[in-house]
Chains A and B, each alone.
Chain A
Amino acid sequence: MAKPDQSRRKFIGTIILLLAGVFSLGRFLSPNVRQKKTLLSVAKADLPVHGALVYREARVALMREGDVIYALNLVCTHLGCTINVTPTELVCPCHGSSFDRLGRVVRGPADRPLLRYLVEERGDFYEVVV
């Protein structure tokens, strides 16, 4: 026991550093790949040319103006109530915000337009993708 042995401390330090390095590298190399989820799929024939299909459970309205097809998120941008779709406008039952068919704010208290989902065409179906 002439010399104090430092090698064990060094060894443990090295092991800890090595493990932290491997762990960090593993985290870095496993990215958060967002899986696309199909919210709903609608047969093309079901969608009227100037109309909308409302899915209250999924809180989505699939809208169509001629060739333009888009999906509105029916969560009110004010406090998150589900919006009612009427032939002329979209009205929130909670605080009376209203939006036009494109989702733009017509009347407050909401101050941001409705969010949109991606609509993809697959064969005979339109699919709303998140």
Chain B
Amino acid sequence: MLNEFLKHLFPRVVLRKNLTVSYTFCLGGLAFTAFLLLAASGLLLLCYYQPSPGTAFNSILFLESSVWGGRYLRSLHRLASHCFLVLVFLHTLRVILTGAYRKPRELNWLTGFALLCLAVFSAYTGYLLPMDQLALWATQTGMELVNSSFFDTAVRTILVPDGVGQPMSLLRFYVLHIVFVPLALLLLSLLHFYRIRKNKGVLPYL
């Protein structure tokens, strides 16, 4: 059954020209690979992370010192998130420079932009979770930036109801980081991929 599904997922024929690396540089696909890597490593990190201000940092220390492969896995997650952001930005740049946002691909440009924002937001929410000094003050900086926008109170009540680094806001960042943002990323990506085939991206037929 899986094979059947995969057979339908991939196109029957493609143009040789469209498969050359310089056509898209595979940036979107690489970004999605980074996302899958993030999901896998993040799933394992969930086994040790404790989302409360008192225990979060200690759980990270425990993970790094007493768990086999813990430090490796955490580095992998962090590195993959850097790669994800870089790849997503490069992909956006490629789309802009090749004019791929034009008709008939407007919808994909919009979903792509939403994906870009979600990627940044997931990185931002993930940044607070270790609860070290860097995490805390970087998040504080982000929240101060929000202050200068005109919908600041709404954002602050939703994201940090009791201040950066307090129990409730840490929990919200955590839930956003592990459930809502990844889910939205995944669903939008699927739409994104569907539109690629609909817009006859690398396909001569359909």
Interface residues of A (CB under 8 A from B): 24-25, 27-34
Q: How far is the CA of A9 from the CA of B67 in the complex (A)?
A: 34
* 0 or 1 for each of B58-98: is its CB under 8 Å from A? (1 = yes): 00001000111110010000000000000000000000000
Q: How far is the CA of A24 from the CA of B73 in the complex (A)?
A: 12
Check if A28 sits within 8 Å of B66, measured CB to CB: no
Residue of A nearest to B65 (CB): A32
Is the interface on chain B under 10, 10 to 19, 20 to 34, or 35 or more residues?
A: 10 to 19
Q: Which residue numbers of B lie inside 8 Å of A, CB to CB?
A: 44, 47-48, 62, 66-70, 73
A54→B70 CA distance, assembly (Å): 40
Task: Chain B residues near A33: list those with CB within 8 A.
Answer: 66
A31→B66 CA distance, assembly (Å): 6
B25 to chain A, nearest CB (A): 30
Please tell me which one of the listed residues A28, A30, A31 contacts residue B73 in the complex, with CB atoms under 8 A apart.
Answer: A28
Q: In the complex, are the beta carbons of B66 and A32 less than 8 A apart?
A: yes
Closest Cβ–Cβ distance, residue B55 to chain A (whole Å):
15
Sampled A-B contacts (22; CB under 8 Å): A24-B69, A25-B44, A27-B68, A27-B69, A28-B44, A28-B47, A28-B67, A28-B68, A28-B69, A28-B70, A29-B47, A31-B48, A31-B62, A31-B66, A31-B67, A31-B68, A31-B70, A32-B66, A32-B67, A32-B68, A33-B66, A34-B66
